[in-house]
Amino acid sequence: MEVTRRGFVQFLARGAGAVAAVGVAWKASASKLFHEVLPARSIAPGNQKWVMVIDLAKCDGCRDCTRACTAMHHIPPMQEWIKVFEVADNPAAGAYFLPRPCMQCDNPPCVRGCPVGATYKRSDGIVMQDDDRCIGCRNCIAQCPYSARSFNWGEPPHTPEELARPYSVEYNYPHRKGTVEKCIFCPEHLRAGKLPACASTCKMGAIYFGDELEDAVTNGKGETVQFTKIAKRGAGFRLMEELGTEPRVYYLPPAARKYPGPDEQKQAVSMAGMEHS
Amino acid sequence: MEPKVMEPREENLLRSMTQTSWRFYAWVGFLGTILLVGLVAFIQQLRHGLIVTGMRDQISWGIYITDFVFFIGISHAGTLISAILRVTNTGWRTPITRMAEAVTVFALCIGAPIVIIDMGRPDRMLNIFRYGRIQSPIIWDVLGVSTYLTGCILYFYIPMIPDLALLADRPEMSAWRRRFYRRLSLGWRNTAAQKKLLERAISTMAVFIIPLAVSVHTVVSWIFAMTLRPGWDSSIFGPYFVVGAIYSGAAAVIFSMYVLRRVYHLEDYIKPLHFRNLGLMLLSFSMLYLYFNINEYFTAGYKLQGMERTLLDRLFVGDYAVIFWTAQSVCVFIPLLIMLAVLGVKRYEHFTIPGMVFASGLVIVGAWAKRYIIIVPTLRSPFLPSGQRLPWEWTHYSPTWVEWSITAAAVAGFLMIYTLLSKVFPIVSIWETREGEVTETEPEAVPITVGAPSRWWKGGAVATSVLLGFLLLSSQSAQGATPPAKHPKPAAISVDWKVLPANTPSVTGSPDEQQPAAPRRVYWYAGRLFNPFSTSENMPPEEKTVAPVAIVATLHDPGGAPIGFKPLEFSLDSGFGTLSFGNRPTMADGRAQLTVRDRRYGTYPVKVSFRGDDEYAATSFQVRVNFGERPAPALPNVGVLITPYATSPVTVPFVLFYGAMWVVFAYVFGYLILWRMRKVRD
């Protein structure tokens, strides 16, 4: 076939026409092909945006939050939904305690990666976990940069209180073998207008919890403060901001700590031991 | 068609299918034992859960996923080599294409189900289809691997049709086998018109299987590369895995060539030329893989960023150093040196076959170890190591007997399928070797060339139309929490409030515009950046500047006279507690003003109280202040690809690509082979 300029121009024109036609068809059909509304389970019972603020200066590493969480959710052994880390970022600043619940990210990698939608974002900001649906592929564990997810490797040991209630995504028990579990900000408590177990238990008042739209957060001691104010004045930060996960948990830096940090505590213990001997 | 007189080498090939020695039974029995042990292990795992493996929360993927990546990798070369050789019309390919394709099909048959073994809830496997989310890399894999498996089975089967017809006429086959082959040969009569159709079908498949194969190992790598883990968060993972896959697969093809040649005495088909040519290919891929390894580790090692440094320390000198350097040597360095010697140095030329086979064996073993090295050390080095206050075995990984048994069973299963099916199907293509081997007499003459023209596009139009159905779920609008209404007590404080104009100009409109934001369309959450056809109406609205609210309280005595210079405390009832704004003094006119500039939405009871002093008794007044409408419940618009439903930016490319593949399969197999081939007249 002869290649002519005219033919080539025609070829280009047809191509442009095809692209335009696809564009028009796309605009017309995209909203019909893809859903526009959220499914019922993605819409929270209340119109809030939950947010947590953890004041690292107030945390003394007692792990009461972990224990309260474990008791409330009947969490199987070897799992900690809120885990207290001992962090030493650099050689000079010394170690500090870092309680880590689920960050309930606004751009959650686990939700992105879940093949079946067993973990999903709710409109109040909570990343929920549906163990009726989870297939146990553990992609969410691989996706989570905060190591905030755990897996029921074997059949979890059950207690009668745990088995007494039917399973609900709002409290995530009875626990099932082969499924993933995580902190879910105690939606059951929130429904009843109570603070999550960790926040209400913390006797140091280090964990503040509240509704971002109310601009108020409350800790276990009943102190209510303005969220934006303590975040701003306290130089609040989020863990691994650079990953773009947009966590809903804010931290206040461990500046002017009120309690001895982990290394000082260990030192005190060893000193006490020396005195005894 | 009367049985054609067969050449001695073809008689020999048929003997491999009809005669079995005691060695065959011993081999099958041996493999069967391993499979049985694997079955016992799997039953154990089903009963007790994955606790019987060495995996725990920190290292949550182990050698099952290693096996998966390994077998999918092995599956790569067969079809790819065969397809590239067919597309380029390389003459010497004909005796080896069948066994290469067999490696692919059988490895996929083993590799694909291994993920099911790795699942915590294999009983819920069908949730993948019920609730599948196209945003997840796991679903890309399901889509990719299933498409690829189908394509490879077709690509294995279609070129075999003439051979099956030929076998159906052979007297040495038993009657039921002849019926079986007759059935499978789909009415092949070896006419010129049929041959033309078959050629078209094969060349179309060959062209489409190449991008399909590349895509499959790319999406396998994306399971890892789509995470934020140090060591996996890498942009070269796609090509890195594809090259590694072709490398290990080519080694598997060479190894299987050697074994089949030895066992079935196929020396007349498989010549040193084949080992040399495929060896050159393996050599080039070993260099390419070395390049990718250097690229991957050098870029990370130069910067030593955060946890990447920990990871590299563990790999290079730490607890994974032994396995890391062993894997790299066995997978790349040693085979590279061997191949350079036997292929490049004249005096070692007569070692080509043993050298290549040894190198291939090393590559296969090394490829498995390499997968392990990619997967496990990264999981061992997360940003937040959850290992604090956990026992050693919860943070370290060592595979248990269950995992080893299942892995051994996977290898045994692969060998078993290969062994048994090599008795059912001719492992060398009879009809192609009759016509094809043009360069047989002059070895060394044909290097692998790329670029010979193919004829697939003359074959007819390929329509691509794809539909995806979704479940429609109704949504319920949520209701805002209403704080309990309280009746104001008759008191000596009266409060007034008003919304002040915002200081900073609002982006979307006038500051007193207090309309609730429209519920955002779910499919746009996937990110505006990706969407070529998005317009401003579809974009999520910008965040409004919150207008300040002035609350003015007046303190007066019952007679109405203002009380000046007294402190009034302002507080607000939030969901969990009372937020205090502190005290404001009343002026001479008894008024105290509080201006609230908080980022707050909704209506709240604001309480203004007077503590009381010597002159006046304590009193308080409560008023409901509206700080502006709460936004409608919606997912955060920063969330990329977190929607509950399929979104266009990921759905369209994946569904179009794999959908096109299924259309090609339907055209090739359904139309050309099943429909046209029966109808065709000479």
Digit-coded pLDDT (tens) for B233-256:
988 999 999 999 999 999 999 999
Q: Is B528 on the interface with A (CB under 8 A)?
A: no
Separation between Cα atoms, residue B612 and residue A111, nearest integer Å: 54
- pLDDT above 70 for B479: no
For the record, the structure tokens of A164 come out as 């007494």
Q: Which residue of B has its CA nearest to A26?
A: B533
Q: Is B48 on the interface with A (CB under 8 A)?
A: yes
Q: Which of B101-105, B190-194, B263-267, B594-598 has the highest mean pLDDT?
A: B101-105
Contact A142 B639 (CB under 8 A): no
With the C-alpha atoms ordered B620, B626, B627, B630, is the resulting torsion angle positive or negative? Answer: positive
Of how many residues is chain B composed? Answer: 682
Distance from CA of B456 to the nearest CA of A (A): 19
Q: Which residue of A has its CA nearest to B467?
A: A33
For the record, the structure tokens of B544 come out as 């409004």
Residues B181, B325 within the same domain: yes
Q: Would you tell me how many other CB atoms lie within 10 Å of the CB of residue A258?
A: 12
Is B613 inside a domain boundary?
Answer: yes
Higher-pLDDT residue of B116 and B548 is B116
Contact A121 B473 (CB under 8 A): no
pLDDT in tens, A10-20: 999 999 999 99
For residue A23, the chain B residues in CB contact (below 8 A) are 532-533
For residue A193, the chain B residues in CB contact (below 8 A) are 575-576
Q: Which of residues 550-589 of B touch A (CB under 8 A)?
A: 572, 574-580
Residues B420, B500 within the same domain: no
Name residues whose C-beta falls within 8 Å of residue B487's C-beta, 6 or more positions apart in sequence. none
Domain that holds residue B155: 8-385+403-460+642-679
DSSP B674: I
pLDDT in tens, A242-257: 998 999 999 999 887 7
Least CB-CB distance to A111: which of B533, B630, B642?
Answer: B642
3-state secondary structure B616-650: CCCEEEEEEEECCCCCCCCCCCCCCCCCCCCCHHH
Q: Which of residues 208-267 of B touch A (CB under 8 A)?
A: 223-224, 226-229
Q: Is B618 on the interface with A (CB under 8 A)?
A: no
Is B469 inside a domain boundary?
Answer: no
Enumerate the β-bridge partners of residue B552.
B496, B593
Q: Which residue of A has its CA nearest to B601?
A: A213
What are φ and ψ of residue B371, in 5° steps? Answer: -60, -40
For the record, the structure tokens of A205 come out as 């008042």
Strand ranges for B462-588 from DSSP E = 493-499, 549-555, 567-573, 578-585
Residues B12, B144 within the same domain: yes
Predicted pLDDT of residue B93 = 84
Higher-pLDDT residue of A252 and B427 is A252
Q: What angle do CA B300, B306, B311 make, to 5 degrees?
A: 60
Confidence band (pLDDT; 50, 70, 90) for B524?
low
Predicted pLDDT of residue B436 = 58
Distance from CA of A162 to the nearest CA of B (A): 20
Predicted pLDDT of residue A197 = 94
Lowest-confidence region among B77-81, B116-120, B191-195, B602-606: B77-81
Contact B384 A152 (CB under 8 A): no
- pLDDT above 60 for B474: no
Task: Report the residue of B482, B530, B579 to disrupt the A interface, i.e. the one with the largest count of A CBs within 10 Å.
Answer: B579
Provide the Cα torsion A89, A92, A98, A100; round to 10°: -10
Q: Is B598 on the interface with A (CB under 8 A)?
A: yes
In total, how many domains does chain B have? 2
Enumerate the β-bridge partners of residue B605.
B624
Cβ atoms B603, B624 nearer than 8 A: yes
Q: Stretch B292-304: mean pLDDT, rounded?
A: 92
Residues B523, B652 within the same domain: no
Q: String of b and e for A208-244 (b: at least 16 CB within 10 Å)?
A: bbbbbbbbbbbbbeeebbbbbebbeebebebbbeebe
Q: Stretch B372-386: mean pLDDT, rounded?
A: 90
Contact B480 A40 (CB under 8 A): no
Contact B574 A223 (CB under 8 A): no
Question: What CATH number should be reported for the domain holding residue B416?
Answer: 1.20.1630.10
Confidence band (pLDDT; 50, 70, 90) for B511?
very low
Cβ atoms B256, B200 nearer than 8 A: no
Q: Is beta strand A180-182 parallel, antiparallel or unpaired with respect to A149-151?
A: antiparallel
For the record, the structure tokens of B546 come out as 């919150």
Lowest-confidence region among A27-36, B159-168, B185-194: A27-36
Least CB-CB distance to A117: which of B51, B133, B630?
Answer: B133
Average pLDDT along chain A, 277 residues, taken 10 residues at a time: 83 94 82 78 90 93 93 92 88 87 94 94 93 94 93 93 92 92 94 93 93 92 92 92 93 84 78 66
Is B217 inside a domain boundary?
Answer: yes
Q: In the structure, how many helices (H) and strands (E) does chain B have? A: 20, 7
Separation between Cα atoms, residue B260 and residue B442, nearest integer Å: 24
**Domain-ending residue, one of B626, B652, B668:** B626
Residues B45, B159 within the same domain: yes
Distance from CA of B578 to the nearest CA of A (A): 6
Task: Report the residue of A32, A47, A85, A227 to disrupt the B interface, i.e. the one with the largest count of B CBs within 10 Å.
Answer: A47
Classify B554 as helix, strand or coil.
Answer: strand
Is B110 inside a domain boundary?
Answer: yes
Residue type, B587: M
Candidates B228, B206, B72, B198; CA nearest to B145 is B72
Enumerate the β-bridge partners of residue B494.
B554
pLDDT in tens, B41-55: 999 999 999 999 999
- pLDDT above 60 for B485: no
pLDDT in tens, B592-619: 888 888 888 888 999 998 888 877 888 8
Confidence band (pLDDT; 50, 70, 90) for B627?
confident
Instruction: Look at the block and give the residue holding tokens 């017809």.
Output: B165
For the record, the structure tokens of A157 come out as 């040991």
Separation between Cα atoms, residue B310 and residue B317, nearest integer Å: 10
Predicted pLDDT of residue A142 = 94
Least CB-CB distance to A142: which of B60, B521, B580?
Answer: B60
Predicted pLDDT of residue B526 = 58
Residues B366, B230 within the same domain: yes
Is B422 inside a domain boundary?
Answer: yes
Candidates B269, B224, B226, B274; CA nearest to B253 is B274
Higher-pLDDT residue of B524 and A74 is A74
Predicted pLDDT of residue B471 = 30
Q: Would you tell me how many other CB atoms lie within 10 Å of the CB of residue A203?
A: 13
The CATH architecture of the domain made up of A40-262 is 2-Layer Sandwich (3.30)
- pLDDT above 60 for B456: no
- pLDDT above 70 for B356: yes
Predicted pLDDT of residue B480 = 40
Is B517 inside a domain boundary?
Answer: yes
Higher-pLDDT residue of B435 and B79 is B79
Predicted pLDDT of residue B348 = 85
Least CB-CB distance to B139: which of A115, A134, A178?
Answer: A115
Predicted pLDDT of residue B476 = 32
Cβ atoms A66, A229 nearer than 8 A: no
Cβ atoms B562, B551 nearer than 8 A: no
Q: Which of B292-296, B301-305, B440-444 has the highest mean pLDDT?
A: B292-296
Residues B565, B440 within the same domain: no
Q: Is B441 on the interface with A (CB under 8 A)?
A: no
Task: Report the residue of B47, B130, B228 to disrupt the A interface, i.e. the one with the largest count of A CBs within 10 Å.
Answer: B228
Q: Would you tell me how many other CB atoms lie within 10 Å of the CB of residue B357?
A: 20
- pLDDT above 60 for B516: no
Question: To the nearest whole percent, how much of chain B has pLDDT over 70?
Answer: 84
pLDDT in tens, A103-145: 999 999 999 999 999 999 999 999 999 999 999 999 999 999 9
Predicted pLDDT of residue B286 = 94
Name residues whose C-beta falls within 8 Å of residue B216's C-beta, 6 or more positions apart in sequence. B72, B76, B144, B145, B147, B148
Residues B648, B621 within the same domain: no
Segments in B350-400 forming alpha helices (H): 352-380, 392-395
Distance from CA of A80 to the nearest CA of B (A): 10
pLDDT in tens, B547-577: 788 899 888 888 788 888 888 999 998 888 8
For residue B532, the chain A residues in CB contact (below 8 A) are 23
Contact A27 B630 (CB under 8 A): no
Contact A33 B481 (CB under 8 A): no
Q: How far is CA B565 from CA B16, B133, B494, B586, B588, in A?
A: 109, 64, 16, 5, 6
Q: String of b and e for B432-451 (b: at least 16 CB within 10 Å)?
A: bbeebbebeeeeeebebeee
Q: Is B481 on the interface with A (CB under 8 A)?
A: yes
Residues B622, B648 within the same domain: no
Contact A195 B576 (CB under 8 A): yes
DSSP secondary structure, B216-227, as one string:
HHHHHHHHHHTS
Report chain A's terminal Cα–Cα distance, integer Å.
Answer: 101
Region at B89 (left for phi over 0; alpha for psi -120 to 50; beta for the rest): left
Cβ atoms A135, B127 nearer than 8 A: yes
Instruction: Considering only CA atoms, give the Rg of chain A.
Output: 25
Is B451 inside a domain boundary?
Answer: yes
Question: What CATH number should be reported for the domain holding residue B524?
Answer: 2.60.40.10
What are φ and ψ of residue A272, in 5° steps? Answer: -60, -40
Higher-pLDDT residue of B460 and A150 is A150
Separation between Cα atoms, residue B600 and residue B571, nearest integer Å: 14
Q: Which residue of B has its CA nearest to A78?
A: B390
